[in-house]
Structure 1
Amino acid sequence: MKKQLLLTGGNGFIGKNIRESFLAQKYDIIAPRSSELNLADTAAVDNYFKTHQFDAVIHAAVKPGHRNAKDPTNLLYTNLRMFENLARHTDRFGRLINLGSGAVYDSAADNRLVTEDQIGLRMGKDDHSFCKYVVHKQIENIKNAVDLNIFGIFGKYEDWEIRFISNACCKALFDLPITLRQNRRFSYLYAPDLMPVLDYFIEHEPKFKCYNVVPDEETELLQAAQTVLDVSGKKLPIQVAHEGYGLNYSGSNARLRKDIPSLCFTPLKQAIAGLFSFYCENKKLLNYNLLLRDK
């Protein structure tokens, strides 16, 4: 009998990738829409768990606060309430796998190859960073929970208007110059590479309360842009607004590697080639005019 999982945020970028991965064949994934289960509504969540029980919960739901968000208000309140509404029912599932963020280290700081024991050295002032910090501190006190820190993640279904690698792919597709404010170093994770990590923590008891889920190598934005051009076969300009490097946003995966030594990550060129092919096949869904202005 398959293990039954509750997936929150199943209609979001990461959620859609989870639902299309091998996890959907291996497990029975229940992914209610927000109209079916409002995670910010305590009474609704309480009633839901009266009649539902799961082997694990993958918490991928989040109210976004990025520059393309339709409603960036009440971000801290909503995201904390969604998490707490799940956390109060840990007796109704085997494990809570929270998809956290590198922002737990403070997204306004220069974070380069940070390690999990550096969490708490800084506490971010913006709502997003502070929320990730508070959730992490809660997870430290929840027996059956683990926090997975994702720094940069890319893949199909992400917001191509603002997410750099997808935006670069789409611009190349329409023969537009690739633009960036400043070169930065990221720990970019290809979305399919998250799935074996989730599978491991569904099946195994975590040794630690949090892990950085990042590949072995950093990716520079200029490197990613050039790789997009190499994959597309086009000779287009790469326009950089400011010289030098911006703040780093990368983490060390030493802890994750130690627990899952067999873990493999897709090479950057192969990952971008797959993503570029996706946009080639779905070009009609893109809006050329929205690519003409950077948000």
Structure 2
Amino acid sequence: MKKQLLLTGGNGFIGKNIRESFLAQKYDITAPRSSELNLADTEAVDNYFKTHQFDAVIHAAVKPGHRNAKDPTNLLYTNLRMFENLARHTDRFGRLINLGSGAVYDTAADNRQVTEDQIGLRMGKDDHSFCKYVVHKRLEHIKNAVDLNIFGIFGKYEDWEIRFISNACCKALFDMPITLRQNRRFSYLYAPDLMPVLDYFIAHEPKFKCYNVVPDAETELLQAAKTVLEVSGKDLPIKVAHAGYGLNYSGSNARLKTEIPGLAFTPLKEAVSALYGYYQDHKATLNPDLLRTDK
């Protein structure tokens, strides 16, 4: 019998990738829309768990605060309340897998190849960083819970208007210059590479409470832009607004690789090639006017 999973945020970028991955064949995934289950509504979540039980919960739901967010207000309150509404029902599921963020290390800091034991050295002042810090601290005291820190993730279904690699692919597709404010080093995870990690933690007891889910190598934004142009076969300008490097945002995966021997990640060029092909196939659905103004 297949294990029963609850996926929150199933209609978001990461959620859609999960629902289309091999995990959907291996497990029985329930992914209610927010109209079906409002995670910020304590009474609604309480009532839901009266009649539902799961082997694991993958918590991918988040109220976003990015540049394209429709409503960036009450971000801290809403995200913490969604988390607590799940955490109060740990008796109704076997494991809580929280999709966390490198922001737990504080996005205002220069984070390069940071390790999990550095969490807590800084506590971010912005709502996003502080929220990830508070959730991490709560997870430390919740049985059968694990926090997966994702620094940067890209793939189909992400917001191509603002997310750099998808934005670069779409600009190349429409023969526009690729633009970036400043070169930075990221730990960019290709979305399909998250799936074997989730699969492992659904089936295995984690040795630690948190892991950086990042590839072996950092990716520079300028490097990613050049890779997009190489894949596209086009000779287009890359415009960089400011010289030098911005703040680093990368983590070490040593703990994760020790936990999951043989774990491999898709090379950048291969991942970008697949993503560029996806946008080629869906070019008719893209509005190039939305690419003309950098957000």
The TM-score, its normalising length taken from structure 2, stands at 1.00
Partner-residue secondary structure (3-state), 2:5? strand
Q: Could you say which residue in structure 2 is the equivalent of 1:2?
A: 2
Q: Could you say which residue in structure 1 is the equivalent of 2:47?
A: 47
Q: Could you say which residue in structure 2 is the equivalent of 1:179?
A: 179
Q: How does 1:53-72 map to 2 (within 5 A)?
A: 53-72=53-72
Partner-residue secondary structure (3-state), 2:70? coil
Write the distance in 2 (CA, Å) between the matches of 1:283 and 1:124.
39
Write the distance in 1 (CA, Å) between the matches of 2:51 and 2:126.
37
Q: CA deviation at 1:187?
A: 0.1
Write the distance in 2 (CA, Å) between the matches of 1:121 and 1:286.
42
Write the distance in 2 (CA, Å) between the matches of 1:176 and 1:241.
16
Q: Could you say which residue in structure 2 is the equivalent of 1:188?
A: 188
Q: Which amino acid aligns with 1:241?
A: A
Q: Could you say which residue in structure 1 is the equivalent of 2:77?
A: 77
Q: How does 1:244-259 map to 2 (within 5 A)?
A: 244-259=244-259
Q: CA deviation at 1:261?
A: 1.2
Q: Could you say which residue in structure 2 is the equivalent of 1:226?
A: 226
Q: Could you say which residue in structure 1 is the equivalent of 2:288?
A: 288
Write the deviation string for residues 11-54 of structure 1: whole angstroms up to 9, x where unpaired. Answer: 00000000000000000000000000000000000000000000
Write the deviation string for residues 159-207 of structure 1: whole angstroms up to 9, x where unpaired. Answer: 0000000000000000000000000000000000000000000000000
Q: How does 1:180-219 map to 2 (within 5 A)?
A: 180-219=180-219
Q: Could you say which residue in structure 2 is the equivalent of 1:120?
A: 120
Aligned length: 295
Partner-residue secondary structure (3-state), 1:64? coil
Q: CA deviation at 1:142?
A: 0.2
Q: Which amino acid aligns with 2:282?
A: N
Write the distance in 1 (CA, Å) between the matches of 2:271 and 2:277.
10
Q: CA deviation at 1:276?
A: 0.1
Identity %: 88
Q: CA deviation at 1:144?
A: 1.1
Write the distance in 2 (CA, Å) between the matches of 1:75 and 1:292.
28
Q: CA deviation at 1:272?
A: 0.2
Poorly superposed stretches of 4+, deviation over 4 Å: none
Write the distance in 1 (CA, Å) between the matches of 2:271 and 2:103.
24
Partner-residue secondary structure (3-state), 2:278? helix
Write the distance in 2 (CA, Å) between the matches of 1:262 and 1:27.
23
Q: Could you say which residue in structure 2 is the equivalent of 1:145?
A: 145
Q: Which amino acid aligns with 2:216?
A: D
The TM-score, its normalising length taken from structure 1, stands at 1.00
Q: Could you say which residue in structure 2 is the equivalent of 1:278?
A: 278
Q: CA deviation at 1:138?
A: 0.1
Q: CA deviation at 1:75?
A: 0.1
Q: CA deviation at 1:262?
A: 1.1
Q: Could you say which residue in structure 1 is the equivalent of 2:17?
A: 17
Structure 1 portions without partners, runs of 5+: none
**How big is the alpha-carbon RMSD for the aligned residues of Structure 1 and Structure 2?**
0.3
Write the distance in 2 (CA, Å) between the matches of 1:143 and 1:39.
21
Partner-residue secondary structure (3-state), 1:236? coil
Q: Which amino acid aligns with 1:20?
A: E
Matched, 1:38 2:31: no
Structure 2 portions without partners, runs of 5+: none
Q: Which amino acid aligns with 2:116?
A: E
Q: How does 1:67-106 map to 2 (within 5 A)?
A: 67-106=67-106
Q: Could you say which residue in structure 1 is the equivalent of 2:238?
A: 238
Q: CA deviation at 1:285?
A: 1.1
